Structure 1
Amino acid sequence: MAVAMAQRYAGNLPAEVTSFVGRRRELAEAKRLLSTGRMVTFTGPGGVGKTRLAGRVAAETHREFPDGVWLIDLAPVVPGEPLPRVVAGVLGLQGEAGLSGLGDYLADRRLLLLLDNCEHLAADCAALSGKLLGIAPGLRILATSRQVLHIEGERVLEVPPLSVPGTDDVASVDELARFESVSLFAERASAVVPGFTIGADNALAVTRLCRRLEGIPLAVELAAVRLRALSVQQILERLDDRFRLLVGRSPVALPRQQTLRALIDWSHDLCSPEERALWRGLSVFSGGCSLEAIEYVCAGDEIAPDEVIDVVTGLVDKSILLRSTSKGDGPRYEMLETLREYGRERLAESGQEMALLGRHCTWCRDIAARAEAEWFGPGQMELAAMLRCEQSNVVAALEFCLTQVGTSHCALEIAASMWSHRLSWASLRDGHHWLDQALALDRSPTSARAKALWVDAWLMLLRGEPKVAGPLLEECRGLAEGLGDVEQLAGAVQISGFAALLAGDFTEAATLLEKALSYHRTIGHRGRYWTTLFQLAMASVLDHDARAAELCAECRGMCERENARWSMSFAIWVTGLERWSKGDTRAGTDMVRDAIRIKVPFGDHLGMAQCIEVLAWLVADAEEHRRAAELLGAAQAVWGSIGTSLSGLGHLADPHGRYEARLRATIGDREFATAYDRGVQLDVDGAVALALAEREADLEAPQPERGIAAVLTRREREIADLVAEGRSNKEIAAALVISQRTAEGHVEHILRKLGFTSRSQIAAAWTPSGHSED
């Protein structure tokens, strides 16, 4: 059938009514993809801003398409309606224009189609796009969809939420404004409440609000509308019922775009029954999960174990699940908190909530037990990384166990098993918090309670609270003897020996630790045997025992045989301590620095603090007095980062006191205080850099890099590389094995040094090789 040709239009893109905020990196990447491919699909969860971003890309590239840029809004199109006819109608073709007529029209034109809201018509959109691209060489297509269309040549751009402040620590309102979500909120708020500004009185509330809304543009805009009746703080306080609160009143928006719940309902309706079931099940996880965890917890009546991977793939395609990078055996899967809360509501309605939460707790208990059983061996790095990844899940499991009748024993088992990886807790205080609560709730005389008692006592000793540890050890010893539990009795004896070591009673410490060694040898627990041996080596070194060098060598030998790298850092440190006690400053210094280098990837702040403390003594013996004072301060900074101090650790506190007195006498109280304070002001990375520098001048040594790279430190250049790759602070922290807060601090320093206000400026000025484009 002949088709009458339409008048050639420049396009039909609507004018922007509100300001476009942020997205510089995504805009640049989208234009790059469009210049190298012919089909770009913007994916992401509902409300994340795919349509707005695609529209801006289309508007900014319209000069490249003399035959127009055309928006095809597919949201109102029902499945089964012929798509060629819909597209032809928008292009102004007259008559019954099917695929053939549409292809004839596009064949010799340079034109951009923006297919918006493809998710409910994904198969039809994929088929039509593939055919049209084959017919019309001058055609380019932008598509927005919550799931990938899977056509040949398709380039995919995952649209993330807007950037949000990582912590409450905002140095200034100007700094806060560089986050895209905050800028959007401020823009929309000023339209609702003329004269609205972000100032000292509301900056913290805005920070928390944008973080709670996860930078989802629709959620931020709906929250801003509420300023007609509420303050920012009142909106924040009501966010627990976010689906009721975040309701818009736009007369032109589609119903599903007027509330956050309706938008997510739309996504839910597009899922298969199995995908909906998995969505519900995944809501019990916190902070993401692995495929193995999903299979363990979520497989059941509605999803067969061998179907899980296909259902996971479906949810990733639909942007319900986000696939994140992992240094482990496989990827991790995460869900925006808004989608997780929605899934949790659906789970509660299904009547399956308690069963799935119970399976989640069992899984957490099993991974904690596995980490404990396998920790002294070649997989220490992997186990530590795994437990750090699962920390949020473990905490969620503990919270559940401690609020349900009859499950507190599971909390005891989980928290006590973490003794071997105490660095999996954010601080020693956290570990004690969970053990203390579980012990208060479950007072039954069991081996699990006996174990939790000595583990809690150990944490209290590391925190410098021996008076709290004493009664715990006494109860543990009595309970273990009553139960005839030699394993937990060995734990009580060992930690009692450790308490004597910290108190400076090295003779008593050696007696108890040797007894514990005998117990562990009989039981065959290699990890606990090594830990006791290490503590005995410390006591021998500080007591100037003739066996000290031999015990240190035995510690290293066990680590070498088991390829236990984290444990080796302790063995090297105690050997460096032994060299210090013999006056071998050079060898001791080298060993302690080697120990620090091993500890850094593990994030072992307690171990780093011990190393930096002893390094300060060695540097003082080398007569670098001001540097030694600064290292003493740096050690204190690292102690503080984990919620403890040197004051309760008598085995190190006494030498510390002697060296401090010597340094004050040598350089004077004022110079000592100045250098010490410089060290105290350092973060963990800065303390490590100070410790590993051969001399103070190395910290500020000029760099060979040119351009803006010359003003950044090595660590800052490394982080700039990752920012340029589009990594979030959380991803940077995972890649470099540092805390998220440390990563955030480095990014802030980079921005200040370069005079930038956004991460996108770093990305624009930096190449992946680590050199600026200046």
Structure 2
Amino acid sequence: MFGEYSVHDNQADPADGDPGPCSGAALGNLPTEPASFVGRERELHFLDLLLRERRLVTLTGVGGVGKSRLALRAVTDPRQARPDGVWWVDLSPLRDPGLLTATVAHAIGLADHSARPLDEELCAWMADKELLLVLDTCEHLVADCRHLVGELLQSAPGLTVLVTSREPLDCATEELVDVRPLPCEGPDSDALALFRARALAATPRAAAAFADPARTAVAADVCRRLDGIPLALELAGARMRLWTLEEMAERIGERFEVLSDLRAALPPRHQTMRTTIGWSHELCAPLERLLWARLSVFTGDFDVAAARAVCAGGPLPAARVERVLAGLAAKSVVLHTTERGAGARYRMLDTIREYGHDWLDELGEVRIVTDRHAHWYAALCRAADQGWLGPGQVDWYRRITAEHAQLRTALEHLLTADPTAALEMAGALWFYWFACGHVHEGRAFLERVLRAAPPTGAAYNQAVWALGLTTLLQGDMDTAQRLGEECTRDAARLADPERELRAAYLHAVSVLMPGDAVRALALAGPRARASHGGRTSAPGWLLCKLATGYALCDLGRFEEATQEARALREACAELGERWLRAYADYILAVAALGMGDHGEAARHVRAMLSGKRLLGDRFGIALGLDLLAAAVAGLGDGELAARLLGAGHAWWRTVGRPQMGSPSLTALRDQGERQARAAIGDAAYETAFLGGAASSTG
């Protein structure tokens, strides 16, 4: 009926009866650590002790000093593993404090669907967990992070939080660690080692610069000039591709003498960092400086196509953007990342992005480039809307997930600059909000755009429908029903058959979930069975087919439900669509169970779970585990049924209300429990149930 998918690689295959990850698998989502890490042995030892003794540790220091790298190296240590995982939340792209809790929840795998405040759900979910949470780059959200961290630590005694920020959170229990620059003194200093490593990475010819003591002394002087700040050393090391060590020392000395007085109001380390970035900026070619400034509108990482679309113009033609971008990457102004598996992507460190944004402001281009950014991502969402229920479904999910930070930034801008475009963009993301674990965020954005935009037209109808889907998943059936009725009226006025089908699905499910299968069938059935000119690939028709199958199962009309599900599955197979196809398998399993064929039911639900595992659909996995438990209990395997029910319980906790409060789903789950208890007894049932819950990724 609905679903969420959020891909995590540490899932086992529930279709094989294994409800959790492989034994010993590390839970978490730590980013890939860069290849080299220099020094910091004392700090790492200190952090190792603190993270085992204190519950809140904050790494503070100037931008570019290496707080994030130190944090990542510290928590990657196997000694910091926790039973419920080590989870990393990058807050640098986040600009709206209202999305802080949603960002944390999604990062740790909580795709809550309830209508309760998300911070309450997050606290409840963490209450019995033992995990390590890293909040990286918090300085622009200090007050909000302070509040959330305080709530979480109070609710979850097994939680440890590591924060990186340019300033403390000022919590009562906070243990502060001032991350200082790398030591610069001596021929074996950490600063010199990092400078040497980055120079050699830029060009093998740099090896000669460190071959004798006299030249090593020159390199050490460069490190002292840069105050041992890692980012400054990396920027300088990248310049060794073009300069000798002596040229480097001379030019950086001249640059610092010119600017030291101009930056006197800044603290020394801030002054050094700002001056180093300014020096790197001056050494860029004019087109590189222009691209640097324009790239500052991106939050998070981006691909070449986006950079070309947003940053081209004037003296920088689109055909040259990629080459100029490569030049900035060679100078360490932008970083190359392929972590998301979606082709080459780039990102800019906050300190460097802030400098570029100052220049963009000086150029008077902030508004025009920000507009380009927002409209590029709005167009991407429109393209995704055409492919959500087709063969590119998983690829679109991955691409939109990779662009999540950019989508937020674009929507925030359009809400003020172009509310109609914001309305279209938010409505086009319906599948992402509804099926990909962003229900709270989607509802918030949709409510905002509907207040801001004119209440007419197809885009408004689409946004109302999308809002109805989010309320549906949150269990707010009264609101979902009201929105379904509104969509139906508007679609009739628009004379749009596809919108009428979508509205019928929303309206039908909003009455089906509380238990009115007769009315649901009356709303969706006639539309699902109509030919619609042979267009059986229309999303609205597929959704009505799904609602009809569910309603028939609830009414005990299992043979008819089987026919509907087979037709739906066949249509999905022809489209190459997987999300709805798996739910068709679910209906086939429910119908088989209703007709007493437990083996057939188990076969269909295993197929359904395999599809849901592929898509990471947490709601679907929770549904399927309950159903598989009922099927295997009917086959006499009470122990496996109990383990599956325990695993299902854990998965339900990640999506909010167990069984969504649905009478039919609750009855199905209870049936499996009764049969399992009858087969193996209460004591054995409880043991197996707890074992399944403990071994589940839920």
TM-score between both structures, scaled by the size of structure 2: 0.62
Query: What residue number does 1:770 align with?
Result: none
Query: What residue number does 1:572 align with?
Result: 585
Query: What residue number does 1:355 align with?
Result: 368
Given the alignment, which residue of 196, 200, 216 partners 1:71? 216
- Does residue 626 of structure 2 align to residue 625 of structure 1? no
Distance 2:562 2:643 in 1: 30
Given the alignment, which residue of 529, 536, 543 partners 1:531? 543
Q: CA deviation at 1:566?
A: 3.7
Distance 2:212 2:315 in 1: 51
Q: CA deviation at 1:309?
A: 0.7
**CA offset digits 1:98-135 (Å, max 9, x no partner):** xxxxxxxxxxxxxxxx9994545632439999xxxxxx
Query: What residue number does 1:435 align with?
Result: 446
In structure 2, do the counterparts of structure 1 residues 326 and 116 end up closer, same or farther at CA, with 3 Å as the change threshold? closer
In structure 2, do the counterparts of structure 1 residues 122 and 437 end up closer, same or farther at CA, with 3 Å as the change threshold? same
Q: CA deviation at 1:20?
A: 7.4
Say which SS state the counterpart of residue 71 (structure 1) adopts. helix
Distance 1:520 1:244 in 2: 76
Tell whether the 8 Å contact from 2:641 to 2:672 is kept in structure 1 after alignment: no
In structure 2, do the counterparts of structure 1 residues 500 and 58 end up closer, same or farther at CA, with 3 Å as the change threshold? closer
Q: Which residue type is aligned with residue 337 of structure 1?
A: D
Distance 1:116 1:387 in 2: 32
Tell whether the 8 Å contact from 1:636 to 1:646 is kept in structure 2 after alignment: no
Tell whether the 8 Å contact from 1:631 to 1:676 is kept in structure 2 after alignment: yes
- Does residue 484 of structure 2 align to residue 473 of structure 1? yes
Distance 2:620 2:522 in 1: 25
Q: CA deviation at 1:314?
A: 0.8
Equivalent runs, 1:597-612 vs 2, <5 Å? 597-612=610-625
Given the alignment, which residue of 288, 291, 301 partners 1:278? 291
Q: Which residue type is aligned with residue 123 of structure 1?
A: L
Q: CA deviation at 1:371?
A: 1.4
Query: What residue number does 1:125 align with?
Result: 244
- Does residue 466 of structure 2 align to residue 452 of structure 1? no
Q: Which residue type is aligned with residue 637 of structure 2?
A: E
Say which SS state the counterpart of residue 561 (structure 1) adopts. helix
Distance 1:389 1:424 in 2: 16
Query: What residue number does 2:267 align with?
Result: 247
Q: Which residue type is aligned with residue 55 of structure 1?
A: L
Tell whether the 8 Å contact from 1:323 to 1:334 is kept in structure 2 after alignment: yes
Distance 2:268 2:504 in 1: 64
Query: Greater relative contact order (Cα 8 A, min sep 6): structure 1 or 2?
Result: 2
Given the alignment, which residue of 309, 315, 322 partners 2:328? 315
Distance 1:18 1:490 in 2: 63
- Does residue 506 of structure 2 align to residue 495 of structure 1? yes
Q: CA deviation at 1:347?
A: 2.6
**CA offset digits 1:504-555 (Å, max 9, x no partner):** 3333222221343368835945233223223322333343323222222222
Distance 1:430 1:456 in 2: 11
Tell whether the 8 Å contact from 1:585 to 1:622 is kept in structure 2 after alignment: yes
Given the alignment, which residue of 500, 506, 514 partners 2:517? 506
Distance 1:587 1:529 in 2: 27
Distance 1:338 1:295 in 2: 23
Say which SS state the counterpart of residue 242 (structure 2) adopts. helix
Q: Which residue type is aligned with residue 388 of structure 1?
A: T
Q: Structure 1: state its 5+ residue gaps.
A: 1-15, 27-46, 78-113, 130-142, 147-242, 250-256, 688-774
Distance 1:542 1:479 in 2: 29
Say which SS state the counterpart of residue 284 (structure 1) adopts. coil
Given the alignment, which residue of 421, 425, 428 partners 1:410? 421
Q: CA deviation at 1:317?
A: 0.6
**CA offset digits 1:439-485 (Å, max 9, x no partner):** 22225222212111122112211222202212222222233333434
In structure 2, do the counterparts of structure 1 residues 553 and 58 end up closer, same or farther at CA, with 3 Å as the change threshold? closer
Distance 1:594 1:604 in 2: 14
**CA offset digits 1:407-446 (Å, max 9, x no partner):** 2222222222122344675432222121122222225222
Tell whether the 8 Å contact from 1:630 to 1:678 is kept in structure 2 after alignment: yes
Q: Which residue type is aligned with residue 545 of structure 2?
A: L
Query: What residue number does 2:392 align with?
Result: 379
Distance 2:577 2:491 in 1: 30
Tell whether the 8 Å contact from 2:342 to 2:399 is kept in structure 1 after alignment: no
Query: What residue number does 2:24 align with?
Result: none
**CA offset digits 1:261-318 (Å, max 9, x no partner):** 2232222222222222222222222221111111111111242100111111011111
Distance 1:267 1:316 in 2: 12
Tell whether the 8 Å contact from 2:468 to 2:506 is kept in structure 1 after alignment: yes
**CA offset digits 1:44-72 (Å, max 9, x no partner):** xxx99698646348999x9xx99768515
Equivalent runs, 1:61-460 vs 2, <5 Å? 70-71=215-216, 73=218, 117-120=236-239, 122-125=241-244, 247-248=267-268, 258-325=271-338, 330-402=343-415, 404-405=416-417, 407-422=418-433, 425-460=436-471
Distance 2:657 2:283 in 1: 51
Say which SS state the counterpart of residue 333 (structure 1) adopts. strand
Larger Rg: 1
Q: CA RMSD in A?
A: 4.1
Equivalent runs, 1:584-663 vs 2, <5 Å? 584-663=597-676
Given the alignment, which residue of 175, 188, 192 partners 1:55? 192
Distance 1:57 1:124 in 2: 18
Query: What residue number does 1:94 align with?
Result: none
Query: What residue number does 2:160 align with?
Result: none
Query: What residue number does 1:541 align with?
Result: 553
In structure 2, do the counterparts of structure 1 residues 340 and 621 end up closer, same or farther at CA, with 3 Å as the change threshold? farther
In structure 2, do the counterparts of structure 1 residues 590 and 17 end up closer, same or farther at CA, with 3 Å as the change threshold? closer
In structure 2, do the counterparts of structure 1 residues 266 and 289 end up closer, same or farther at CA, with 3 Å as the change threshold? same
Distance 1:464 1:668 in 2: 34
Distance 2:373 2:330 in 1: 25
Tell whether the 8 Å contact from 2:337 to 2:344 is kept in structure 1 after alignment: yes
Say which SS state the counterpart of residue 605 (structure 2) adopts. helix
Tell whether the 8 Å contact from 1:559 to 1:567 is kept in structure 2 after alignment: yes
In structure 2, do the counterparts of structure 1 residues 21 and 370 end up closer, same or farther at CA, with 3 Å as the change threshold? same
Range with bigger deviation, 536-545 or 417-426: 417-426
Q: Which residue type is aligned with residue 564 of structure 1?
A: E
Tell whether the 8 Å contact from 1:246 to 1:259 is kept in structure 2 after alignment: no
Q: Structure 2: state its 5+ residue gaps.
A: 1-38, 46-68, 74-179, 198-206, 223-232, 253-262
Q: Which residue type is aligned with residue 292 of structure 2?
A: W
Say which SS state the counterpart of residue 626 (structure 2) adopts. helix
Tell whether the 8 Å contact from 1:520 to 1:526 is kept in structure 2 after alignment: no
Say which SS state the counterpart of residue 323 (structure 1) adopts. strand
Tell whether the 8 Å contact from 1:428 to 1:642 is kept in structure 2 after alignment: no
Query: What residue number does 2:572 align with?
Result: 559
Equivalent runs, 1:695-714 vs 2, <5 Å? none
The aligned length equals 492
In structure 2, do the counterparts of structure 1 residues 300 and 644 end up closer, same or farther at CA, with 3 Å as the change threshold? farther
Say which SS state the counterpart of residue 396 (structure 2) adopts. helix
In structure 2, do the counterparts of structure 1 residues 589 and 379 end up closer, same or farther at CA, with 3 Å as the change threshold? same
Query: What residue number does 1:86 align with?
Result: none
Range with bigger deviation, 341-350 or 391-400: 341-350
In structure 2, do the counterparts of structure 1 residues 645 and 75 end up closer, same or farther at CA, with 3 Å as the change threshold? same
In structure 2, do the counterparts of structure 1 residues 341 and 595 end up closer, same or farther at CA, with 3 Å as the change threshold? farther
